[in-house]
Amino acid sequence: MTEIFDPEFFSSIARLTTPILLAALGGSICHRAGIFNIGLEGFILLGAFMAVLGSFFANSAFVGALTAVFGGLFLSIIFAEFHLRRKGDPIVISIAINILALGLSTYLLRSIFKVSGVFSHPEIEKIPHIQLPIIENVKILDLLINDQSILFYLSIVIVFILHYFLKYHKFGLWIRVVGENPEVLKSSGINPVRIKFLVLLLCGLLCGLAGAQLSISNVGLFVENMSAGRGWIAVVAVLLCGGRPIPLFLLIILFGLVDSLSLRIQGLGLPQQITELLPYIVCLAVLIIVSYKKLRTFSRIIY
């Protein structure tokens, strides 16, 4: 047991939770605004690639995070162009965006860096980590949340900001109204399409940061198809929580916990494929339990 629960395990929870959390927060505002965005996987992937690109050429983690955000915004604008202006189906656009991001990141990886598979370089600057001297004396907090990348603290702050923003701020109210009934907003003189566009941009920004956390926070490398299903886990979390930030946060901590657990139990001699499968199994299990409960309570039998 001590092999699993060593200090490395506790510090990896926050590291693995952050990308899923940031992406899921982006997905949750989309969900609240009535945009069925299941392309988070693609957003993260392109963000991760752009982060490495920016960090490598500018030698600065800040520029890396900035380019990652641009990558996310780029996909957001594509999503908005085809969903809001051309009235395309959001599911199909999401599928197309996932494929586009996969193709584009691999293509650019091979044409710019002339490598295939993995790109890593010492010149890729990593996002700085923060030491909090206040909690250094509390052992468990020190292990859990000290010495993490800036984006981790940022994501925690965003959870609560988003919660209050959606609940009490005027713009948050507009977002919720767009999701429930866009006509109401139209009749009060606000263009729902504009709100949706802003929401998509915000989602792109958050997902870009998620990608940056994935690629340049701890490791400083990019692997083909690096997001590896994390975007889908985020989508499931958003669906399960109905886009509410606080339950989302708790659920994603669970997923992050399982994710880091699966990394640790590889040391016990279990085959790698089985341990990698663990997060998806837990995700599926939570999905089944919650859906079944919903089915029983609301007796929403579909077929």
- Residues lying near other proteins in the complex (CB under 8 A) are found at 31, 36, 38, 78, 82, 86-93, 95-100, 102-104, 106-108, 110-112, 116, 229, 232, 235-236, 239, 242, 271, 273-274, 276-277, 280-281, 283-284, 287-288, 291-292, 294-295, 300-303
Report the nearest approach of other proteins to the CB of residue 112 (Å): 7
The smaller minimum CB distance to other proteins, of residues 14 and 248, is found at 248
**Rounded to 5 degrees, what angle do the CA atoms 202, 204, 205 make?**
65
Dihedral angle sign, alpha carbons of residues 290, 294, 297, 301 = negative
Compute how many other C-beta atoms are within 10 angstroms of the C-beta atom of residue 298: 8
Tokens 């809001």 locate to 84
End-to-end distance of the chain based on CA atoms, in angstroms?
Answer: 46
Name which of 82, 248, 228 is nearest 163 in CA terms. 248
Report the nearest approach of other proteins to the CB of residue 258 (Å): 13
Question: Is residue 242 helix, strand or coil?
Answer: coil
The smaller minimum CB distance to other proteins, of residues 150 and 239, is found at 239
Report the nearest approach of other proteins to the CB of residue 7 (Å): 28
The smaller minimum CB distance to other proteins, of residues 10 and 280, is found at 280
Side chain identity, residue 146 = N
- The string of DSSP codes covering 144-158 is HHSSEEHHHHHHHHH
The smaller minimum CB distance to other proteins, of residues 61 and 207, is found at 207
Report the nearest approach of other proteins to the CB of residue 17 (Å): 19
Report the nearest approach of other proteins to the CB of residue 160 (Å): 23
